[in-house]
Structure 1
Amino acid sequence: MAIVLSALSDIGVPAFYDQGEMVVLAHPAGTSRNHVVTGEHVTITVLGDRTVKATAWKPGSPDYHPIADVYESPAGETTLAQEAAQSAAAVAQWFTEPRPTAGGVLLAALAEHGITHVADHRGMSYAVPVDPDTQSADAYNGPHLSIADRSASVDHVPAAHTGWSIFTHDRNGEPVGDPIYIAGDGRVLDCHADSRAAAAFVAAYLAR
């Protein structure tokens, strides 16, 4: 766990190793070590020789409740040092106020192309209607493009982004075939660059 603690320390995230639970506990700055588990915190575990998983928790009754998977080592050949650094970056963003999201980065990129008529499906995907006159409430029920991440969420932090996928949907809102855009191979990508590329693709598709 030393490599994980070092990666967190390098970017200023307070953390310590809990020997009893055998996990690294990361917490917001300003929270004393004795009060970490009384508030929101993130546990980081290392599975095998390079798989790193970071999970956010909040206190509840009678036990703690997981809030989200902040980071999990994706498929692909990476080293433990790389995974530790990437997970640390994701944890740092998780504790940032306001918390950035990959979805927010994508929406900003779409807006640069004048695409602001976007529906949000419970934090899982976005729908861009092919017909701009479609009401947001009906976006998923007719022809549209859906944009989602491999993690099945658009609310993950940018540092945990693994690539946007775009599908076409028919007049009944049903997906048609394979994705017409898919980025990456399962490893972490530059969220801003991928979002700009995906937004440009959507803009070109709508302009056809």
Structure 2
Amino acid sequence: MFNAIALGALTAAGIPAFLDKEEGLLIAHPTDVPQDQATTGHHVTVASLPYGGGYWATAWECAGKSDFIEVATVFKAEDLALCVQAVAEWFTTPRPTAGAVLLAALAKWGITAHSDDIGMSYAIPVDQTTPAADARNRPHLSVGDRSPSIEHVPAAHTGWTMFLHDENGEPIGEPLYISGKGGPVDCDTDSATIAELIADMVTYPI
């Protein structure tokens, strides 16, 4: 039943997918890749979580005959519609990310954020004239996702968390902002909300 419903949802969204009967899961692939070559390149498996816990979409790359490398968890939650959306976003070129949504929200306030180059979090200097190289060594706000990642697709966003850091880069106290409870959170709304809070803090620092 799970496979039929999920396969129908993926197909309705225009995502090529098929059932791998041997593995008991669905394999989704780019539209320009034929089904018989789906696992020879980048693809996403969609499986059911135990005890009716939802859907688990995982991205893979082929690393040789019958050998695959796990690239990332694309989605892991109960909502099938969001799972399908996450898979669709994953195959979009260029791929949208929650981090890009946040940066766009911050840009509306004229705020610059600096990534950590490993896709984990952003640093927003309280003094926006701070050079990028010193962003994490001066008073700043750090923003990350519960995942933890800033490169997940927007449909898989689970909520931003923000900490204030002192002049040595050390976190101070409890989070100043935290959203969600571990499940998916609307990325646009969450990003707009935290961006407005950051704008207030950068303009009127604590």
Corresponding position of 2:63? 60
1:135-154 equivalent positions in 2, closer than 5 A: 135-154=131-150
Unaligned regions of 5+ residues in structure 1, if any? none
Compute the displacement of 1:51 (Å): 2.6
Corresponding position of 2:98? 102
Compute the displacement of 1:204 (Å): 0.6
Corresponding position of 1:29? 31
| Aligned length, in residue pairs | 199
* Residue aligned with 1:30, SS: coil
Corresponding position of 1:11? 13
Point out the more displaced range, 36-45 or 132-141.
132-141
- Cα deviation, 1:67-100, whole Å, max 9, x if unaligned, reads 1110011xxxx5xxxx221111100000001100
2:171 counterpart of 1:175: yes
1:43-192 equivalent positions in 2, closer than 5 A: 43-48=45-50, 49-61=52-64, 63-73=67-77, 83-116=79-112, 118-121=113-116, 122-192=118-188
Q: Tell me how far apart the structure 2 counterparts of residues 132 and 161 of structure 1 sit (CA, whole Å).
A: 27
Cα pair 1:164 1:183 within 8 Å, conserved:
yes
Q: Tell me how far apart the structure 2 counterparts of residues 97 and 112 of structure 1 sit (CA, whole Å).
A: 24
Aligned match for 1:199, one of 188, 191, 195:
195
Normalised by the length of structure 1, the TM-score is 0.92
Letter in 2 for 1:113: W
Normalised by the length of structure 2, the TM-score is 0.93
Q: Tell me how far apart the structure 1 counterparts of residues 30 and 38 of structure 2 sit (CA, whole Å).
A: 8
- Cα deviation, 1:162-181, whole Å, max 9, x if unaligned, reads 11111101111011111101
- Cα deviation, 1:4-32, whole Å, max 9, x if unaligned, reads 11221221111111011111000011211
Letter in 1 for 2:43: H
- Cα deviation, 1:141-176, whole Å, max 9, x if unaligned, reads 221000000001000000111111111011110111
* Residue aligned with 2:128, SS: coil
Name the % identity. Answer: 50
Q: Tell me how far apart the structure 2 counterparts of residues 13 and 169 of structure 1 sit (CA, whole Å).
A: 43
Point out the more displaced range, 36-45 or 129-138.
129-138
Q: Tell me how far apart the structure 2 counterparts of residues 178 and 55 of structure 1 sit (CA, whole Å).
A: 32
Letter in 1 for 2:114: A
| Runs (4+) off by over 3 Å | none
